[in-house]
């Protein structure tokens, strides 16, 4: 890497040439500005209500948990109830996506069958399809089936592998695995199911992890479908509950709302800490968000 030139150089261009110290200071400064709203929300959730907007600083002069206790009991059910609802739907979605997408991916990556190219192209096409095109008929269908206010409209699409993104991700991954392993297993008398289950899946763990983490985050954050399909407060998930909270609270109860928002973001942050490696690899290879 060129470090020959002594001329002052715009920081943006050849990184190694700007003094590293300057660059670190700038990066940390920029990172702080970016994360400031988040940090402010955390600190505000720990401040007494009346201090939130008087102190833009991060360190609360008085720390209190009353926003959390107040927010927890602010809606029809304690907030834990909504966290549980979200957790159930998210867990089912993750399992469904892992099973259904990996089944399809194995077939696309390893088996030969008539019209394979056509189906594969269709599968890729559905990745780009805006969800809104199918929104209205799906809603009508689920409401005809009397499934509004159940988990089915949210989980069924995952059971049926409609998150084609992940099928694609796993196909790409399986193709990198040596075929000799399949062939060796076949010589040992293993059928396709056994090869899928015992040979391919264990080697696919990184792709499965990426799928699981992204499904988790997307389902946990998903607002539109949960808003559409869950309108009974007994079925509310975290995003819908937060939205109701926002509607019902006056401008003075931001503390409790911040506190519950922190709880809502907590699991995502946790998965971010644990699964960074898979997240970043997933984004870098497929452009997932």
Partner 1 sequence: MADSVAVKPRKAASPPAQGGHRSTQRSRREARAAYLFLAPWFLGLLVITIGPIFASLYLSFTDYSLLQEAKWIGMDNYVRMFTEDPRFIASLKVTTIYVVVSVPLQLAFALALALVLDRGLRGLSFYRSIFYLPSLLGGSVAIAILWRKVFGADGLVNAVLGIFGIEGQGWVGDPDTALGTLILLHVWTFGAPMIIFLAGLRQIPSSYYEAAAVDGAGVLRQFKSITMPLLTPIIFFNLVLEIIKSFQSFTQAFIVSNGKGGPADSTLFYTLYLYLKGFKSYDMGYAAAMAWVLLLIIAALTGVNFLASKYWVFYGDDK
192 binds partner 1 (CB under 8 A): yes
Residue from the set 51, 84, 138, 197 that interacts with partner 1 by CB under 8 A: 138
Distance CA 122, CA 224 (A): 25
CA distances from 252 to 49, 239, 249, 255, 257 (A): 8, 21, 8, 8, 10
Residue from the set 6, 59, 62, 133 that interacts with partner 1 by CB under 8 A: 133
Task: Give the binding range for partner 1 (CB under 8 A) out of 69-77, 86-94, 117-125, 203-211.
Answer: 117-125
Residue 39 contacts residue 58 (beta carbons within 8 Å):
yes
Residue 240 contacts residue 157 (beta carbons within 8 Å):
no
Residue 161 contacts residue 103 (beta carbons within 8 Å):
yes
Residue 18 or 64: the one with the smaller Cβ distance to partner 1 is 18
Task: Give the binding range for partner 1 (CB under 8 A) out of 63-71, 74-82, 112-120, 197-205.
Answer: 112-120
Residues 265-284 that bind partner 1 (CB under 8 A): 265, 268-269, 272, 276, 279-280, 283-284
Residues 58-97 that bind partner 1 (CB under 8 A): none
Residue from the set 62, 117, 176, 188 that interacts with partner 1 by CB under 8 A: 117
Residue 192 contacts residue 111 (beta carbons within 8 Å):
yes
Residues 167-186 that bind partner 1 (CB under 8 A): 167-168, 172, 175
Separation of CA 285 from chain center: 16
Residue from the set 64, 126, 150, 235 that interacts with partner 1 by CB under 8 A: 126
Q: Which residues contact 241 (CB under 8 A, 6 or more apart)?
A: 75, 79, 82, 260
SS3 at position 191: coil
Q: Which residues contact 198 (CB under 8 A, 6 or more apart)?
A: 185, 190
21 binds partner 1 (CB under 8 A): no
Task: Give the binding range for partner 1 (CB under 8 A) out of 62-70, 77-85, 86-94, 162-170.
Answer: 162-170
6 binds partner 1 (CB under 8 A): no
202 binds partner 1 (CB under 8 A): no
> CB 88 → partner 1: shortest distance, Å?
18
Separation of CA 251 from chain center: 30
Residue 29 contacts residue 41 (beta carbons within 8 Å):
no
187 binds partner 1 (CB under 8 A): no
Task: Give the binding range for partner 1 (CB under 8 A) out of 60-68, 79-87, 202-210, 239-247.
Answer: 239-247
SS3 at position 104: helix
> CB 92 → partner 1: shortest distance, Å?
14
Q: How many CB atoms lie within 10 A of CB 197?
A: 14
What phi, psi does 264 have (nearest 5°)? -65, -35
Residue 78 or 191: the one with the smaller Cβ distance to partner 1 is 191
SS3 at position 255: helix
Task: Give the binding range for partner 1 (CB under 8 A) out of 22-30, 62-70, 73-81, 82-90.
Answer: 22-30
Residue from the set 19, 31, 80, 206 that interacts with partner 1 by CB under 8 A: 31
189 binds partner 1 (CB under 8 A): no
141 binds partner 1 (CB under 8 A): yes
């Amino acid at each position: 890497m060129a470090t020959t030139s002594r001329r002052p150089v715009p920081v943006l261009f050849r990184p190694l040439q700007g003094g590293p110290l300057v660059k670190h200071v700038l990066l940390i400064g920029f990172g702080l500005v970016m994360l400031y709203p988040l940090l402010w929300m955390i600190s505000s959730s720990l401040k007494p209500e009346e201090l939130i907007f008087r102190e833009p600083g991060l360190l609360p002069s008085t720390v209190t948990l009353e926003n959390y206790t107040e927010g927890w009991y602010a809606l029809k059910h304690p907030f834990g109830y909504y966290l549980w609802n979200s957790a159930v739907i998210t867990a089912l979605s993750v399992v469904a996506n892992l099973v259904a997408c990996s089944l399809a991916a194995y077939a696309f990556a390893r088996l030969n069958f008539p019209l394979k190219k056509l189906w594969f192209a269709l599968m890729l096409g559905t990745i780009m399809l805006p969800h809104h095109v199918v929104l209205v008929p799906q809603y009508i269908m689920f409401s005809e089936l009397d499934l509004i206010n159940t988990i089915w409209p949210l989980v069924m699409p995952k059971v049926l592998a409609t998150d084609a993104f992940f099928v694609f991700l796993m196909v790409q991954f399986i193709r990198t695995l040596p075929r000799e392993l399949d062939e060796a297993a076949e010589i040992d008398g293993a059928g396709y199911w056994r090869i899928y289950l015992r040979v391919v899946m264990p080697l696919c763990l990184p792709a499965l992890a990426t799928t699981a983490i992204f499904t988790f985050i997307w389902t946990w954050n998903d607002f539109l479908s949960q808003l559409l399909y869950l309108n009974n407060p007994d079925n509310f998930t975290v995003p819908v509950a937060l939205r109701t909270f926002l509607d019902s609270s006056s401008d003075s109860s931001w503390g409790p709302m911040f506190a519950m928002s922190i709880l809502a973001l907590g699991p995502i942050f946790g998965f971010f800490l644990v699964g960074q490696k898979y997240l970043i690899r997933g984004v870098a290879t497929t452009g997932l968000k």
